[in-house]
Amino acid sequence: MYTPNPLQRRRLFILGLGSQGKAWAQNWRDQKLPFQILLREKSSTIQEAKKLELPVTLFNEWRPEPNDIFIMLIPDHTHKNVLAFFAQQGGDIPLTFIYAHGVSYTQYNWNQVYPAWSHLLLAPKAIASEVRANYLSHEPLAAVYSTEGSIAHDAKELVFFLAGQLGINQGPFKSTFREETLADLFSEQALLCSLLPYGARLIFEKMVERGISREVAYLECWREVKLIADAMIKFGPENFHRLISPNALYGGEKARHVIFDKSFHDKLDTLAADIWSGSFFNEVMDQDLDALRQSVIADWSSTTLAQTHKAMEKKGVDL
């Protein structure tokens, strides 16, 4: 049975060439999917796009055509100004915007602000490097999607087509912009970008403080995070706890009751409340994010953990 190509007679643009933009673009390039990277005239990434053999269109060269598709891979806090630019070019022209994260849509209700446009969600559940690596290795790559903000009849077909071309082979699973936003932000804050890296850092420092060598401490609390995570995914919660050693089993349960007490739950509730209320988004908008990133990187660069990581790399340890 013939299935029409949802991109037929439509132009596809990627906005931004950051980590996610490069991953999506390279995957689609390898799939021979026609698209353009849409960049500002003086963008510092124009030359990088050329090195990667990615086709580029500049904003001052672009003119709207009905049913143009835009993949929003620029930072969430920039969406408002970028969408306002497109509205100036022709807010009544039917365009489609696909977001890799639901934050700005959830905060601003884009379907009400720009009702002539379709707003779709296609959110890979992987960092950019894994979007590219899993495509190349054919490893599992999951995503969630939503068509709740669409006015087009073929929205789901379009999302699934682009997901397949990207290398998504688990799902994409149906969600909503709000659900994806809440889940993504809370998991980042409560676990992925806080408890994991900062917990590992603190434990590394405690080990070294108590006489453990830097190399052994590094292997135990930084490198083994990946090995444990791999086992959790491969075996699942029940079998993971069947496989770990008796010492690890008892120690984990002891620590669970010491660390994850009521005060910890209260802190999780505080983080969640800020996300669910929308106040976290307002906090982000008030930040100088470039300065914050530089400050955080400078802080991590000064740690013994980071220096040990670099030293282990030089020694040829398989990290």
Residue 200 domain boundaries: 194-314
pLDDT band at 3 (very low <50, low <70, confident <90, very high): low
Nearest to 318 by CA among 226, 240, 214, 234: 226
Alpha carbons within 13 A on the beta-carbon side of 241: 7
pLDDT digits (tens, 9 = 90+) for 45-102: 999 999 999 999 999 898 889 999 999 999 999 999 999 999 998 888 999 999 999 9
Please check the confidence at residue 249 and state whether its pLDDT lies above 90. yes
Please check the confidence at residue 1 and state whether its pLDDT lies above 50. no
Looking at residue 42, its pLDDT comes to 86
Phi first, then psi: give them for residue 140, nearest 5 degrees.
-60, 135
Alpha-carbon gap, residue 98 to 126, rounded angstroms:
17
Please check the confidence at residue 274 and state whether its pLDDT lies above 70. yes
Residues 96 and 208 in one domain: no
Alpha-carbon gap, residue 215 to 220, rounded angstroms:
9
Looking at residue 207, its pLDDT comes to 98
Residues 209 and 310 in one domain: yes
Looking at residue 4, its pLDDT comes to 65
117: Cβ–Cβ under 8 A, 6 or more apart, which residues?
94, 95, 96, 97, 110, 111, 151
Nearest to 13 by CA among 91, 53, 50, 67: 67
- Is position 180 within any domain? no
pLDDT band at 2 (very low <50, low <70, confident <90, very high): very low
Residues 167 and 207 in one domain: no
Nearest to 177 by CA among 131, 151, 142, 144: 144
Looking at residue 319, its pLDDT comes to 46
Residues 198 and 287 in one domain: yes
Residues 62 and 22 in one domain: yes
- Is position 184 within any domain? no
pLDDT band at 317 (very low <50, low <70, confident <90, very high): low
